[in-house]
Structure 1
């Protein structure tokens, strides 16, 4: 049986990746989106006030080195109130919830949302499985690192594939292409860029981030190709562990991203609840 990966590892890489993805945006983009971030103890809290997607305001990294308390949750919520954030998601693993969580939730206006699955894999195992003779090759696609000149196109594809606005959001994503510790990959169909993904290096951990393929290029193995390319890059960087997240499957649902990762040797570390905070009134 493989060793259990500590919470300090699985939560840290995601928290740091999101923090740097958003705070590395150009100042004009930050101003347009109303973007601000802070650190409160273990917690990384990012606020995007002008975000119609309601996706990018998140607090995560809870319980990495210290217990989660009512005072900590109150401070996180106070940050969002001060920012005028219309909605934020607090991502806490069940094992770090305090005993009085129900009372804290009622006091701060926090409700239960969807669940995500946290996955981990050893880099060497994913690379080995990627080279297996029975693995289905990509159909007409190729995957390659993103050149700085393609940063805008790559970022546009990421936002379009996720159904998000391109204005300002693409500028946020494009900025990471030339930033330290980010290693973006693109999927191409002929001369058309049709898929995006990146990986953030955090010590010996590689955090997978932002994988998406445009609808017209799906079912060609692009998601798996982007996974494999990033795993190989992680190995070249000296990383030992891959970490990723995706939505938990509901009854009757099918998450192809989840199954692509499982086939390549990822395993579920835990399922994590999303807790939704909104200001009173």
Structure 2
């Protein structure tokens, strides 16, 4: 881990900015979408439980940022009443023995390889290499296009286009397109709260993948954030597995992000 970052922050802050982003995603989402898609969110202290059954992604169906048994029990009781996929995410190396016992008592089974949490603190970024693609902020009138591209990229149902389009132009959010000429071929988003920012929403049209689109969007968000007072960026992606390609992880490392910890996924 970047030693400068380790002196300035803690995993709790790295998690907290991600929690804030997803709670805000819920807050800015249209009321009719929440009702139709059974989209719900329960903030608990610095963490939350979030449920969007029609979304296949773990990120929208999970318990995040909670460590105490009391908070976890509240989130668990809320979450088991939901449909769809349900997960609990935790940096198992940092939790108490009581939390580990709680996981065992609930019979929660580890799911997949888990996620890598990566951070960047502004001291080691590599922005000198020219981008292969031009990027720009998404205009408010392009919100539906942005939302539809995110849904296609993450294999979300088209009914969730309104979810991702809702963040365009909202306070704290910055949304980006990568362009081939003037044609959008990739998307990305950044949520800022104070001096922290969370990066997400990165997708690329299939025919433009593996050509530097996401690397350009990572750098653009970092540059934009630094210009707006961000000192610490956080993002997550699949934990690398030896012998298997992980382009997202590699792109983040090339720009200057460092892995802070490994977050395990448990199925509820």
Relative to the length of structure 1, the TM-score reads 0.87
Are residue 173 (structure 1) and residue 167 (structure 2) matched? no
Contact 1:195 1:213 survives alignment (8 Å): yes
Matched, 1:17 2:16: no
- The match for 1:89 is 87
Distance in 2 of aligned mates of 1:22 and 1:197: 18
The answer on 1:155 being equivalent to 2:147 is: yes
1:33 matched to which residue of 2? 37
Match status 1:205 vs 2:201: no
**2:97 counterpart residue number:** 99
**Unpaired segments ≥5 residues, structure 2:** none
C-alpha separation in 2, matches of 1:274 and 1:226: 27
Distance 1:52 1:221, change over 3 A: closer
| Change over 3 Å in CA distance of 1:62–1:255 after alignment to 2 | same
Q: Does 1:220 align with 2:211?
A: yes
**Residues of 2 paired with 1:270 and 1:54: CA distance?**
18
Give 3-state SS (helix, strand or coil) of 1:183's partner. Answer: strand
| Contact 1:124/1:235 (8 A) holds in 2 | no
User: How far did 1:158 drift?
Assistant: 1.2
* 1:79-107 Cα deviation digits (max 9, x unpaired): 1133x333322111123433244542344
**Displacement, 1:199?**
0.5
Aligned residues, how many? 263
Q: Is 2:41 the partner of 1:42? A: no
How many angstroms apart in 1 are the aligned matches of 2:217 and 2:188? Answer: 6
Quote how far apart the aligned CAs of 1:252 are. Answer: 1.8
- Is 1:6 aligned to residue 10 of structure 2? yes
Q: Which of 245, 253, 256 matches 1:262?
A: 253
| Aligned CA-pair RMSD | 1.9
CA distance in 1, matches of 2:119, 2:57: 27
Give 5+ residue unaligned stretches, structure 1. none
> CA 1:196–1:251 in 2, change beyond 3 Å: closer, same or farther?
same
Deviations 1:131-159 (A, max 9, x none): 2xxx2530xx3210000111111111111
